[in-house]
A and B are shown apart, each in its own frame.
Chain A
Amino acid sequence: MTATPSALKPPPVNTVKLDERSLALRRQIVRTIERGGRGHVGSAFCLVEMLRVLYDDVLRYDATNPRWPERDRFVLSKGHGCLALYVLLAEKGFFPEAELWKFCKPDGMLGGHPEFGKIPGVEASTGSLGHGLSFSVGFALNAKIEGAKHRVFTICSDGESNEGSVWEAALSAAKHRLSNLTVLVDYNKQQSYSTTYEVLDLDPFADKWRAFGWAVEEVDGHDVAALRAAVGRAPFCADKPTAIICHTIKGKGVPFVENNLNWHHKNKVTEDEVKSLLAALEGDR
């Protein structure tokens, strides 16, 4: 038995040029990290396009009434990517921007993983991986029981898919034909230690979801138009849950962060690093 054949497969080269909105959201993430002094930088950067498409174009919500019963439910199962979520929630008015500046502070409500009950707009506390999809199955199943029209969206990660509970939930969602459930899988091919190919190869990843009874499409996770179109087409099948495998670049947007595992999580971000991050995110201006 030789090593996993795909172990040396390089991450895909990204060709999407980020627009000003994507850059601005990343700059806001950096400013939040600057105040907190720490954070999952790369993990947040690769989620920005998925989250902006969901919050700009897809999810139905009322930021002034976060528990509005008819809202769509969104669960960031990959809780460590929360900085991208916080920035979007603040921008949409779920809480004041000033909360961002208290990230991880004793008097703040925003911690290193999102918490239900503390943060308006957060449906479930995540952080320990492999829980969010099961929560989402529960939410989607309840909607089905009640004949409710709202939908459930979840972002899982590739490293998270090492957890057996993800696949238990995947089986369950297919069993219940939860077409009201859409999962966006952040497939950046990196996890904390190394590539997913080296740590625990997931390929053929899309085929696995298909085999578990899901309708699946693959998309460039930084291509806003492609993402919008794919999520807009969901559910892909009237009696199956939807999985959209989003090919992303960990740390997308800043060359020295991209695919650099030293930036998976930083527990001390220096002033110089903040300057370099912001400079890299200035775009053409």
Chain B
Amino acid sequence: MRKTSLDAVYELAKRDKRVVFIGSDLGIGTLKQFKAEMPERFFMEGVSEAHLVTMAAGLALEGKVVYINTIATFLTRRCFEQVCLDLSLHHTNVRLIGSGGGVVYAPLGPTHEAIEDIAIFRTLPRMTIVAPCDAEEMKRLMPQTLDWDGPMYIRLGKGGDAVVSRPELGFQIGKALLVRDGTDALIVTTGITLQPALAAAAQLGQKGIQAGVLHMHTVKPFDTEALITQAARVPAILSIEEHTVIGGLGSAVAETLAEANFITPKRFKRIGIPDVFPDKYGSQATLLARYGITAEGAAAEICRLLGR
């Protein structure tokens, strides 16, 4: 997903002179071709994320469209003030490409696990947050980032994620995708959790439960209309995210459902990382399993919500 995303930045830069790339201290050879062909718009600025976010704001105020890539935690935790004031307040066209969204860096521990990145940035006016589910969806997203108005955070998955998105559904920033229809329950996803959600829906189908899957690749602006439309049709709603249950997708769903004031009561549950720092190493998959962010976890919660 990261390669797809950065390759797209290179392609965008080739056709639009406004495009600038800034990395912190990325792996050797990153965007080698970009650097060779357009050195004046390629910057590897060192482990000084606070500075490079504001420098990007300066470039953007001069008309550039700036793509920054580094590890997600450093962009979200370390640079919050720079992102808030220099990107959001100044309404700049800077795209933050955060590597290792969620628990991708499980072996590296809590300093590198971006489990509250969405929550942090959801609080910022003018910020757009997109978490594609796979490389194909990333491919569809990137061309749309060029002329998008205002700052954007693009959350990257691990890479090599199973492709579950479908081109025929299209892609539009800010518009949720109904990936599977269902009348008994609705599973709401963002990022790579579309994958376990679809598997859960398939498992539930075998039990005669028809679960719909609504993919919120864009968590902000949140497509409340799509959620309310789909939620209105079902008695139970489940959100599933690779993120703390506080402030992210689950919170956005909960806020929307609470204010929708459905006449018929709904049952609702959030699956995500509970209010803890992950305390184990292993892999992304083992940590996701630890917190029930799996197809089995989702299917079981839907059954509980439906009393089945």
Contacts and interface: CB of A to CB of B under 8 A. Distances in A.
Contacts of A131: 54, 82, 85-86
Contact of B54 (A116, A117, A164, A165): A165
A122 to B, nearest CB: 11
Contacts of B297: none
A142 B59 contact: yes
Interface size range of chain A in the complex: 20 to 34
Interface in B53-75: 53-64
A145 B65 CA distance: 14
A183 to B, nearest CB: 14
Contacts of A22: none
Contacts of A171: 46, 48
Main secondary structure of the interface of B (DSSP, over half): helix
A145 B19 CA distance: 12
B181 interface: no
Interface in A117-169: 117, 123-125, 128, 130-131, 134-139, 141-143, 145, 164-165, 168-169
A131 B58 CA distance: 10
Interface residues of B, number: 28
B40 interface: yes
Contacts of B48: 165, 168, 171-172
B37 interface: no
B90 A134 contact: no
Contacts of A116: 61, 89-90
A141 B51 contact: no
Nearest to B53: A134
A138 B56 contact: yes
B59 A141 contact: yes
Contacts of A143: 62
A139 to B, nearest CB: 5
Which 3 residue pairs of A and B lie closest in terms of their CB atoms, listed nearest first?
A138-B58, A134-B54, A168-B51
Interface of A: 116-117, 123-125, 128, 130-131, 134-139, 141-143, 145, 164-165, 168-169, 171-172
Given A138-B58, A139-B61, A165-B48, 6 more contacts: A128-B81, A130-B50, A134-B55, A136-B58, A137-B51, A165-B50
